[in-house]
Amino acid sequence: MNYWIFKVFESQRGVDVIGEWLNILPLEAKVQIKRRFAYLATLKKEDWRRPLAAKLKGKKYDPIWEIIIKWNKIQYRPLGCFGPEEDNFTLLIGAIERSTGIFEPRNAPETAKARCNLIHKDRRFLGEYS
């Protein structure tokens, strides 16, 4: 049983930003990330915790979550938020964590927060995860 339907942020041009990010990653990393998404879909929110996922620290990043995947010594961190529907988790930006709290791109948490706010106001930026 799935508790969550994964969604993606789409740019104004209609580009699925997560699909675009996944397409530039090594195939095995992409497979590991997609497996993690599939597994998290089967867990209740209270079971989303380390080492699988975690809410970003600091009130300024509330309500952004990082999904945690380590493959080939690289810390992949797709960022997202719950919503806009009660059974959605929306993937907002793909990132890599270089060291604790340092992301590539560096503004990934801020971008995720802005996109989360946007999808809750305007569903035109919401796309289907595939």
Instruction: Give pLDDT tens digits for 55-86.
Output: 999 899 999 999 999 999 999 999 999 999 99
Q: What's residue 40's pLDDT?
A: 98
Instruction: Identify whether 76 is part of a domain.
Output: yes
Q: Domain for residue 34, yes or no?
A: yes
Task: Assess if residue 127 is contained within a domain.
Answer: no
CATH number at 43 reads 3.30.2310.20
What pLDDT is attached to residue 125?
97
Asked if 93 and 9 count as a contact pair (C-beta separation under 8 A), the reply is yes
Question: In this structure, is residue 42 part of a structural domain?
Answer: yes
**Domain-embedded: residue 128:** no
How many whole angstroms separate alpha carbon 73 and alpha carbon 75?
Answer: 7
pTM of the model: 0.96
Whether residue 50 is contained in a domain is answered as yes
- Cα–Cα distance between 72 and 3 in angstroms, integer? 30
Domain limits for position 87: 5-118
**Of 109, 31, 120, whose CA–CA distance to 77 is shortest?**
109
Q: Give kind and range of the element (H or E) at residue 70.
A: strand 69-71
Going by their DSSP bridges, the two strands 5-9 and 88-93 should be labelled as: parallel
Dihedral, CA of residue 32, residue 36, residue 38 and residue 42, to nearest 10: 150
Where the chain has pLDDT below 50, the residues are: none
- Domain presence at residue 112: yes
Counted domains in the chain: 1
